[in-house]
Chain A
Amino acid sequence: MIQLRQIMSFALAVFVPALAIAQGTTGSITGVAREEGTGRPLPNARVTVVGTSISVPTRDDGTYILREVPAGAREVRVIALGHAAQRLSVTVPAGGSATLDFALPQAAVQLEQVVTTATGQQGKNEVGNDIPRISASTLNATKPIANITDLLNARAPGVNVLGGTLIGTGQRIRIRGVNSLSLDNDPIVIIDGIRMTSSTGASAIGIGGSRPSRLSDIDPNQIESIEVVKGPSASTLYGTDAANGVIVITTKRGTVGHPKWDAYIQRGRYNDHNNYPTAYTMFGHSPTGLLTRTDATGAAACTLPDVSRGTCIVDSVKSLNIFAEPDLTPLAPSYEEQYGVGVSGGTETLRYFLQGTYSGDQGMYKVPKFEIDRLLAKNGFIPGEQLRPNALTRATLRGNTNIQLSPLADIAVSTVFISSAQRLPQTENNTTGLTSSAYRGPGYRENGFISGTTIYRNGYRAFTPGDIFQESVTQDINRFIGSINPNWRPLGWLSTRGNFGIDFTNRVDADICRQGQCSDFGSSRQGFKIDSRANTFQYTVDLSATGQFHLSDALSSKTTVGGQYFRSNFHRNVAEGDVLPPGGTTVTSGAVPFASEATTYIVNAGTFLEQTFSLRDRLFLTGAFRADNNSTFGTKATSVIYPKASLSWVLSEEPFFPKLGFVSQLRLRTAYGQSGTSPGSNDAIPFFAAANANIADKATAAVTFSAVGNPDLKPERATEVEGGLDIDLFDNRASITLTGYKKRTRDALVSRVLPPSAGVSASRFENIGAVQNSGFESSIRAQLIQTRLFGFDAQLNYATNNNKLLKLGGVPPILLTSAGDIRQMEGYPLFGAWPRRILNFNDFNGDGILTANEVIVSDSNIFLGRTSPHVELSFSPGVDLFNNMVRVTALLDHKGGYFVKNSNERIRCGTNVNCSGVANPQSPLWEQARVVALREHPARTDGPFWEKGDFTKLREVALTLNAPKSWTGGRFMRVDRLNVTLAARNLGTWTKFTGIDPELSTSPGGTGVDVEVQDPFQAVPPPRLYTIRFNFGF
């Protein structure tokens, strides 16, 4: 009721005075927008009366009508993708109509002319920030895009994306570095004007590391564009939580014209191309008999230092690479498929877009042949979900409508329903996971029997895939995202805007081991079933009003006021039944029941005011502030005020600017702004929690003190300054964007370790830290050659990021791992690598084997470097042939200046004694040295397993064939447009990293070291993907 009253107050405050001053007469403007030279009509171009909120898109035939335009001299601007903007003047007669036609020159490079901001769409020149835009619809049609990660990865400078390793698992997106020590560093996501749940790690059931991502629910085929609002200088008005940047997704919409049917069919095939480590076992005997040291099977085995010491006389060395053995490998080619059909069109009054899509993705995990034989002999069949335990299918139905209620009001309605089913294998950091056994077995097949059988494990350490994949983890999603975006322009100078919406996700996670199945570990074979049901609600209420008016002939003003309310509700119930009877598959059938419940509520409310002055429409000065409060702040914390300011100056339009023929446009820009990140829902309050207590063999209610809380808790506050320039050159044949930024996060929340003697929680959040990110970003796009038969264009993105922990609030350095090799240390990058290192090694006795006295290890941990890339470079060339009938593109991606721990080799050498450096007499000394440091040296350190993570990848190559006009235009099967794209992803990697893949990492989601420090531990890297896609237009 309170909120309704406030909304009414808002409406009255804005509109009554507005209506009261409505006066004067209006007219209309009609015309057509065409392409210069060809005369081709330009549909969906944006026609705007400068200095007002009056704006319409052009129809299919390029025509437009602007109604209710204040009479008098007006300027009208037209912008269209791929064309240079054009501005013309016209006099609008009162009660009459003026005609104004446009001829827009082509821009060789795809220049974006508008950007989406928290206060609505604005001309790019008005904004003091660099907000790159990714044209998703183009990429989908012409690139091997399987998910939203593929859309984002290496497309925009300063946006670092680490993809998931399993089908359907999450991605880590970091924009301009890592801001927070303790909180989520993910950007927020806005879709069609409302906040969207985008959490990674969105599952109640772990499989070893990777978890699904809610961002991945969105079908990339339904996205028109993605804009990346990079930092606080641009994201201020998005409110608390926007400090890590904002991903703004705009879905496809209909255009005025006849119904257009579009369909696509994409089929893909995954092929594994990665090199997996070989397992070695060195058999030998001591001078007096068998060695006491044994391998996993109890067989006598020795290490290279044993040989050097003479305590082992080698009899034989065996090696095995499970992944290279056709009957053993747990990987097999798999498929990817995407289908979609949609229709769009409409009139000026009603535009629509309706699309249904389906996608299926199958991971490469499979039960290998030797296990198929065993299971078929035992059970007669293998269920499909166990045979191929990783898969994702998703069906999406989207309906977007734009309704022109009157010349002064329109409303956009966006709805999407998503239904997906996912299954995930046991893998990664998981004792009973596939890779724990596949990477860490011995160098031979006869390593003991599969539990309960007399069949060899065939080199798998403890468990074999047939049993491992019998544990079935699934996630079913039913999700609805709906938004209503009304716009009302009661007056030429006043427009109001609303975004109301809900993102609702119903999630069912399940995990089952049937009685007598799964890995023989713990009590798994007694059977269990976990059923977790979660509902997530994300509500958005966003209202604003913008007034635009001329203060003088040269000076214009635009004022926006608004308020936003976001509420996130999460409810989960988990039921578990353990000890299942034969055939039992439900929680109910379990003899031992468990249940749990979890709830989270977070509310954020804010108001903002933004004022922009524009001088002659080429110098734009903006100032704004936002007042925010949040349910997670402490009781002593008050509202926070985030200010912002920006300046954009189109210098090349100034009379004094020299007429340089090669400069089409030069714009200087700078921006300053603040934003925040809120703590967790209960971080501020002291509370008790219910405890598990079994007193005298009876479950008894108990409470224990859980958290001390922090009443002073407030958000982290990030302040950013960025500056740069945009240059368009050679009649828009090339464009260069250069940006430098410096971002400082103060009041950084440090999960301050509490002393054990306090007897309370292990830590609590305190606003005591400070973090700095600075860097440089550049993007160069150029159409280098453009002839009828041959064209060559290229885009180069380059970005650096320097990250430093400025202040830790006086607390001791935070050691994030037991070995202390990942630390938060003042003056150094967040999550820095601090291993003990090998200072020197030398094979003094010349026997080709290193022992402890031949390896010198540092006495203490030494700073090695960053754990996230310092440099990112991507290059995407494109070649057009035969009047654009053929287009070939590629994407090269380089990341460098960081370190990754080769944790797979660490555990293979240290625990499983099967790596080359420990058991291969041919292994180089550097491999042996780190094994000695880990196993033999008093330091017992795995520090030397940190390696440079730098890599260059050929991510994409694509060939698109556009059918000639003679084939289309309705001549063949009524097809109006047709193209075919052959593409491949993950084609090659160049790196010195000796692990499987330098980009390999689990993606658990959440916060802290597990997320921020890439860890390839027992993960399987992404395979190569080949796709063929047909796009039809009817």
Chain B
Amino acid sequence: MLRHLLRTVNLFDTAKCALFLCIFGSCHGSSGGASRAPGLIYYETYDPRSLDPALSTDVPTGEMVTLLFDGLTAFDPDGRLLPGLSDRWTADRTAQHYVFHLRSGVSFHDGRPLVAADVKRSLLRVLNPETHGGRVWPLLPIAGAQDFADGRARDVRGIQVLGDTAIAFTLSEPLAVFPKFLAMPVAAIAPSPVAAEFGQHPVGTGPWRFVAWEHDDYLRFARNPDYWGGAPLSDSLTVRIIPEPLTRIAEFLAGRVSVSEIPFGETAKWEQEHPDWLKRKPALRAVYVPLNNRRGPLRDPRVRQAINHAVDVPEILRTVWNGRGVLAAGAIPPTLGGSDPGRRPYAYDTSEARRLLRAAGYPNGFAVQLWRSGTNVEMGRVAQAIQAQLGAVGIRVEIVSRDASSMREAVRKGDTDMAITDWWADYPDADNFLYPLFHSASFGPGGNYSFYSDRLTDSLIVLARRTADQSARETLYRRIDARIFEAAPWIYLWFPVDLWAQHPGIDGWDVPVIFNGQRWTKVRVK
């Protein structure tokens, strides 16, 4: 018996030894991989929808379109607005009438020169119902765009071509952030007329020309030597499709991918072993739990505040999320104008939470459901932590796990009490964290998953959109954010900090705060 036991223990040791050797080998392997120069290789987690700007409704498509095409404006990796195909633009004082002047001497990859009529036709193509693109909202502020998109008009009266070199937009109401809308991939400029199967064989003005696309495998791009913004430093760029995060890390260690996001479970290991390879940047993204402001006890702001007090967010951030985030004291990320660095997050205070619950008439708590997406493991862990902590103040949380699509549908219909989710910026502006998330016109599919509705907030958000003066606008945003924060329509969690590894064989790469902020022009193989 004893001998048998000893043998088992030995076996255990052998297994441990083997595992250790594996890990040791992997570290050794990584430094071996580091010496290789891999060429520029990026990755997406799934195949893009298409390479047609009009179809760019998801991140992979948007990122690929950004490599091939230009918009009138663009973002840099830090989310600053830059001139794109338009090198200067003017707005009238009301921010309702814009004129964009085109950069001279720009041609498409097939040699056709860019003219203002291309801009108009590109935008009309996006709005055209026959395109079936699905993302028209960035262009709907243009006067007459809604009628055109609904098939009620044959032209968009708010877009005027001024000769070959300028284009004027008249908006249906003032909108100060409109130039940022035009930097989104969907507003990128395609040549006209576009060829058949344009999404498979795109032609743009961007820094990279299309070479090949093997679906679910890789996309290949070659440098556009005539790029107006300076040709890319490398000859080619490959984008592989790698769905599994751990495989991606293996590819990175083998020197077959140039940059990689670090999966959560691996944070400590990488910080210890390869601190010099790591790059981090606060992302324009919010992790939060929308509390359905129209359901049951959650209708009462005191209950929502109590929930915020009952959750120990710093602890969850530190343990579950590896500390990769900045605590949220509002919905506007701290890197954006309009956020208030002086505002404090809800303090973790269970007695205050109990007091608020008593005041709201729920001294014994109540039962709610918290929805989570089954495929997102980290979010699931956060949900469990929230469940445990709310249980301590008497709120009985049942976690409902569904696949992402089912959960999204339920949340958008308002059929959930609470759901753990995140919000990625489309454009780097506080407006993108207020209008879609809290305006009552954005209920459900528009982004307002908490169904928060407040007439004053609505009018202030619209007022801010109409305010051309940047500092006045930011003052308004601070006020709006503070007002909403007080009403606690969410459990305010954190703004993630992205953690990436850059292969030592390349330089010039930077983590983009927004998905279309990295165009790989300044990256080169050492």
Partners in one complex: no
What residues of chain A have their CB less than 8 Å away from a CB belonging to chain B?
A: none
